[in-house]
Amino acid sequence: MSATAAGVWAWVDSFELTPTDSSRKHLERTETPWIASLFYPQAAPHVLPVLTQHLAWAFIVDDQFDDGPVGRDVAQATAAVTELRAQLETTPTRARSRPARALRDIWTRAVARRSRGWIEQFSTSTGEWLDSLRLDAEDRRHDYRPTIAEYRRRRRYGSGMPMFFDLAELSVGVDVDPRLRALPEFSRARLWLAEWIGLHNDIYMARKDLEIDPAHNAVCIVHRTGGLSLEQSLVAVSDMADHCMRRYLECERECRSAFDATAASARDRADAEQCFVSYRQVCRACFDIEGRTQRYRNASDYLAAARHSRDEAPDWTAQRLFGD
């Protein structure tokens, strides 16, 4: 773990992704090396560094949009997402911002020796996550508050979990047969599990988001629109998450029947089954980390210390990483 931690910090510093003491402290409280070890426990030593670096990068970018000025300016958000998306191309445009340069470095190493189908899936998953960040910025600009149904549809992608599921496949060394990956049941399973993780995160971050971004948290939306207390809203969203998990498990079973219908080989079927194991590992890790890392456990306390007023962005976003 110490070698992985040292490596990720050296990488973060090489791209100057935490240029201030407060931004560095915020990443420290996130404990990305430990989270990566829970997300990807079977990752080989030569694969774990890029997985850990990607996790750190994703948290940093997410914070820039969720908590910082770029997520409240549609033009800036669109420019940032466009630049980041361009790094997912075979021949990318030149990366100017630090996060874009870092993403290109991650992308180049992650896709090496992977199938075309996996690369396309990882590109799609990453792009959908980035698009959700831009849509959130548009909501803030126009003071639009999504309904709970609208929000839940977007949360599946806004959680970023589909791209972490893709990397979980990389961590266990499997590459799913394109016929199986294309099954609707396979896609639905991933999305139901991604929504469960997103809603579970909303439960832990509800009190922080009430202060900084109540339009993009399921608990806050239910609290605002449903006439429920905050505690009742937490229970209501927990029930929604339970439904997502039941649907995920149903989709897993449906996938196995669909595998039979495709006459999948034993090897292809075993690879797909291993994917589900790795997805559930990511899910379990999310459950564990949100009660144990400072990022989630003490969010209200450190947020108060990071702002001089309710209208001010937290100090870990004070130096913008985009547009530099």
Say what the pLDDT of residue 324 is. 57
Local confidence band at 28 (pLDDT 50, 70, 90 cut-offs): very high
Instruction: Give the helix, strand, coil percentages of the chain, each rounded to 5.
Output: 75, 0, 25
Q: Is the pLDDT of residue 73 over 70?
A: yes
Q: What is the DSSP letter of 45?
A: T
Which bin fits 300, alpha (ψ -120 to 50), beta or left (φ > 0)? alpha
Segments making up each domain of the chain, as ranges = 45-144, 146-310
pLDDT tens track for 234-267: 999 999 999 999 999 999 999 999 998 888 899 9
CA distance 158 to 121: 16
CATH of 146-310, one of 1.10.600.10, 2.60.120.10, 3.30.70.20, 3.40.710.10: 1.10.600.10
Rounded to 10 deg, the angle between the 48-67 and 161-172 helix axes is: 170
The H-assigned helical ranges of 111-183 are: 116-141, 148-158, 161-172, 178-181
Query: Which of 238-276 are b and which e, b meaning 16 or more Cβ less than 10 Å from the residue's Cβ?
Result: eebbeebbebbeebbebbeebbeeeebeeebbebbebbb
CA distance 176 to 117: 8
Local confidence band at 95 (pLDDT 50, 70, 90 cut-offs): very high
3-state secondary structure of 185: helix
Which whole number is the average pLDDT over 116-145? 96
Residue pair 62/313 in contact by the 8 Å Cβ criterion: no
What pTM did the predictor assign?
0.94
Q: How far is CA 284 from CA 91, 194, 245, in A?
A: 36, 12, 12
CA distance 26 to 15: 17
Mean pLDDT (the chain) is 92
